[in-house]
Chain A
Amino acid sequence: MPSADVVVIGAGLAGLTAAIAAAESGARVHVLAKGHAATHWGPGGIDVAGIPAASTPRDGIRRLAGQPGHPYAFLGDDVAAALEWIRPHLAAGGLEYVGDLDTPLQLVPTSIGGTRRAAILPAGQAAALSPWAAGERLVICGIAGFKDFWPEAIAASLSRERIWEGGNRPASVIPVSVALPGLAARHNLNALEIARRFDDPAWRATAIEAMARAIASVPGSGGRVALPAVLGIREHAAVLVAVQQRLPAAPFEMPLVPPSVPGMRLYAALRAALIRAGGRVQIGEMIERVEHDGRLVTAVVSAAAARTFTVRTGALVLATGGIAGGGLVAERDGRLREPILGLPVEAPPADDWLSVDAFDPAGHPLEKAGIRTDAELRPVGADGASLFDNVRVAGSLLAGERYIRERCGDGVALTSGWRAARSLSAVPAGHAAEPGSERP
């Protein structure tokens, strides 16, 4: 039975950020998660505040912070610091991020032929961030036999003016397909398999040659080329350089359906940073209960083969996600439950759950559901008083954000994770007894 200064439940962006920051400050950190999720499903960028009204992420934060109950009301001032703090950790894992809070939000084309607002993207996607020059073309380069990326459909959709909201857009969008070595005869080809092939220097040299020839055959010159996000995993940085050097147009990756290769790169970089900082990670653990002594959590107990596994701890960061991640569970009677600590959930009445269009531009009311905290991220009751003094809530479990519609999930996760760790490092250490210190 190990002991820790901080146990983090959840291994998405919020949980891993909190864990890295805590480990860096010298805490013994233990991460428990029931599986992979948020990172492996997401597009791998850092969406801070992609709302239509905003010109930049900073502007977006300001607008969201003005909404009653939004986490940016108390986190907004820390986003810049958290972002600059995480950059070198990700860079150490081979992931450079381009853009900051003052980068103009740009409509970036997606692999289903739509657009989304972004400003901070990994280097592999960053070429999509610059405005389109007059007459600039966009080539959509697909891979023959790869069913998660249809260049003709994407190009047809992106050729419509309204997809770009009537604003700046490429002069032409042209599809092309390329057969890559050994892939044409494959069934069930997925992004991950192709990305792993790109890690192999010999294969990728041939593949990039084939891509360059295919793109050169398209009418016009220069411009940009959108590729499915498959440009390597472990060797992504090297693949990106090779692709940028060889292709006759500026390349950028378009994230795909899960498993998300850019998301896996993000997870790998975060996990490596945590392990470098001395943290421990256990994936595949279901939390059975959390033990507490009054308002202090003392231990986290997870299911194990035949028995349970207990980690005694001085503090807990709850980063279990929203409804999709399992941090909130819906009961049949229309209540939302927080299954780990049984915290009170702020949620719209059940009658409203099904009353709106799931694609309502205002978002689904359940998106805002979550745990209400004070500015230190401690969960609070209806009277606003802290329920657990050594617990912090981070990520999409927080109430008041609409992480899909407001495109603020990554910014909130990153900043709340970082803030949670800093806030806990202010808690006097020594809650967790040293094992073996008590002699019989």
Chain B
Amino acid sequence: MTIAELIRDASEEAVGYSSDECIKCNVCLTVCPVARVTDLFPGPKYVGPQAQRFRTGRAQPVQVPGVPFALSPDVTVDYCSGCGLCTSACPAGVKIAEMNSQSRARMKAGKRPKLRDWGLGQTDLVGRVGVLFSPISNWALANRPIRAIMETTIGIHREAPFPKFGRRTLQSTWKRRQQRRGTAAVPGPERAIVYFHGCSANYYEQHVADAAIEILKRNGFETIIPEQVCCGLPLISNGIYTEARQRAHKNLDVLAPYARQGYRIIGTSTSCTHTIKAEYREMLDIHADDATVVANATWDICEFLLDLHEQGRLDTGFGRLDEDLPYHAPCQLRSHGIGLPAMELFALVPGLRAADMDHDCCGIAGTYGMKKEKYPIGMAVGAPLFDKIKASGAPEAACDSETCRWQIEKATGTRTRHPIEILLQAYRVADAAGGTKRGPLAAAGT
């Protein structure tokens, strides 16, 4: 066994053996949003630390002669949505969600994944094809008979929320823009950041990227957009670790040199940034220096803006937004362990009455709620949140994660935007009123 293999095994065991800390108190069950709504999932303790004792650290579960099942005893682990709330709530420090993700991957290892699960994992491939044929693909995804066929054949629920593909990718738009501007010297890490746009901003929601670029520029940062691929989270969630590792390595190869020069890597998708910060190492067992260097350099955009504010460097010249704004904190954001930076930023906007909905999960959990058999579970998980948002009567809501936004928007009919879009709107209100900037630039200029 090589040293690298030893280290890799040890890390996997760190998750796996944390089951030894379980005191069987079932606190994890009390916070599990899936077990809250369905009998199909017996809860994090049963499929996690309880079942763990029957599993081994090997790639294949051990077969016992005469026993018709593998010793990894519980296939219902596939009903775990991976929201991670169990790990947060555990008073004993058991890595329950991580354990469940690994056992799902092991359960699926060596088998050909379902076409549907594989396809949902390939967000970048789907995005590329979808954008290429965007008028047709958008028509198809909005076409009820086609969606019914998709449900029957590949198992993507006909009502599952899908965003519209953009006309072009952010990458190609950006390249064009750069060509038009000509090659300017790339500013150093004090004046520029590297943007990890993820699949949503690249293929579906360029307006989120535009908002990020504009807000960063306003605060003194140019944006660098290197070639990148999907962060790999959809593959991890669908138990396809090998392909997820390939994506991770591609991204690390591109991002590590920037990180080493001191550039910060900013993402607008809180699940992508969490994958880069934590899951490359914890879930995919990538322990090259690159993984650590890149993780340490990666920031969620609201986390980054709040840090600027803490240093007194954020332009706080926000105009007045006189509105109620229901806010949902995505599960993946909570796994960052950084609090709710968007709520802190909203507090800087005059008149804005942002309210944390304090709900566990919207139910989509990445690609989970899109699947035929899991769609009703996802909708039931999110139902109390949808009711609260509808009851608020607010014209729009905010959420940091794209799939959650699509889910909330679909379920409530309430337009749901990234927090930075709200902030940008507040800046624009100030601009329209002829406001002056407050913050570092103003201070330097006066």
Binding site for B on A (CB under 8 A): 1-2, 30, 34-37, 40-41, 186, 188, 190, 192-193, 196, 258-259, 264, 271, 275, 280, 282-286, 302-307, 309, 311, 325-326, 435-440
List residues of chain B with CB within 8 A of the CB of A193. Answer: 35, 39
**Shortest Cβ distance from residue B426 to the other chain A in the assembled complex, whole angstroms:** 16
Q: Which of B274, B309, B338 contacts A436 (CB 8 A)?
A: B309
List residues of chain B with CB within 8 A of the CB of A35. Answer: 27, 88-93
B30 adjacent to A440 (CB under 8 Å): no
B338 adjacent to A309 (CB under 8 Å): yes
Comparing B173-181, B229-237, B310-318, B409-417, the segment that makes contact with chain A is: B310-318
Interface of A is mostly: loop
B25 adjacent to A275 (CB under 8 Å): no
**Shortest Cβ distance from residue A285 to the other chain B in the assembled complex, whole angstroms:** 6
List residues of chain A with CB within 8 A of the CB of B337. Answer: 282, 284-285, 302-305, 309
Determine whether B435 belongs to the interface, using a CB cutoff of 8 Å to chain A: no
> Which 9 pairs across A and B sit closest by C-beta, in order of nearness?
A284-B88, A304-B337, A35-B91, A306-B277, A305-B277, A306-B295, A37-B91, A305-B278, A259-B26
**Shortest Cβ distance from residue B238 to the other chain A in the assembled complex, whole angstroms:** 21
**Shortest Cβ distance from residue B229 to the other chain A in the assembled complex, whole angstroms:** 20
B309 adjacent to A435 (CB under 8 Å): yes
Determine whether B443 belongs to the interface, using a CB cutoff of 8 Å to chain A: yes
Q: Which of B27, B310, B335, B443 contacts A40 (CB 8 A)?
A: B27
* A279-B311 Cα distance, complex, nearest whole Å: 23
List residues of chain A with CB within 8 A of the CB of B309. Answer: 435-436
Residues of B within 8 A of A (CB-CB), count: 49
A258 adjacent to B25 (CB under 8 Å): yes
Closest B residue by C-beta to A264: B30
List residues of chain A with CB within 8 A of the CB of B278. Answer: 305-306
Q: A306-B296, A309-B338 are in contact. Are A196 and B36 (CB under 8 A)?
A: yes
* A13-B316 Cα distance, complex, nearest whole Å: 38
Q: Which of A188, A259, A325 contacts B42 (CB 8 A)?
A: A188
* A282-B338 Cα distance, complex, nearest whole Å: 9
* A36-B335 Cα distance, complex, nearest whole Å: 16
B338 adjacent to A304 (CB under 8 Å): yes
CB within 8 Å of A: which of B248-303? 274, 277-278, 295-296, 298
List residues of chain B with CB within 8 A of the CB of A307. Answer: 277, 296
* A307-B339 Cα distance, complex, nearest whole Å: 13
Binding site for A on B (CB under 8 A): 25-27, 29-31, 35-36, 39, 42-43, 46, 87-93, 274, 277-278, 295-296, 298, 306-307, 309-314, 316, 334-341, 343-344, 356, 358, 439-440, 443
List residues of chain B with CB within 8 A of the CB of A34. Answer: 91, 93
* A1-B341 Cα distance, complex, nearest whole Å: 8
**Shortest Cβ distance from residue B275 to the other chain A in the assembled complex, whole angstroms:** 10
* A192-B338 Cα distance, complex, nearest whole Å: 30
List residues of chain A with CB within 8 A of the CB of B93. Answer: 34-35, 286
List residues of chain B with CB within 8 A of the CB of A188. Answer: 42, 46
Closest A residue by C-beta to B356: A275
List residues of chain A with CB within 8 A of the CB of B39. Answer: 186, 193
List residues of chain B with CB within 8 A of the CB of A311. Answer: 339
List residues of chain A with CB within 8 A of the CB of B343. Answer: 280
List residues of chain A with CB within 8 A of the CB of B274. Answer: 305
List residues of chain B with CB within 8 A of the CB of A2. Answer: 306, 339, 341, 344
List residues of chain B with CB within 8 A of the CB of A326. Answer: 91
* A389-B242 Cα distance, complex, nearest whole Å: 54
Closest A residue by C-beta to B30: A259
* A193-B38 Cα distance, complex, nearest whole Å: 9
Closest B residue by C-beta to A307: B296
Q: A35-B92, A436-B314 are in contact. Are A258 and B27 (CB under 8 A)?
A: yes
List residues of chain A with CB within 8 A of the CB of B439. Answer: 436
Interface centre among A280, A282, A305, A438 (most CB of B within 10 A): A305
B296 adjacent to A284 (CB under 8 Å): no
List residues of chain B with CB within 8 A of the CB of A258. Answer: 25-27
5 residue pairs bridging A and B, Cβ less than 8 Å apart: A1-B306, A35-B92, A36-B31, A192-B30, A440-B312
A304 adjacent to B336 (CB under 8 Å): yes
* A302-B338 Cα distance, complex, nearest whole Å: 9
* A29-B119 Cα distance, complex, nearest whole Å: 45
B356 adjacent to A40 (CB under 8 Å): no
* A185-B145 Cα distance, complex, nearest whole Å: 38
* A48-B43 Cα distance, complex, nearest whole Å: 34
**Shortest Cβ distance from residue A92 to the other chain B in the assembled complex, whole angstroms:** 15
B30 adjacent to A40 (CB under 8 Å): yes
Closest B residue by C-beta to A187: B42
A37 adjacent to B27 (CB under 8 Å): yes
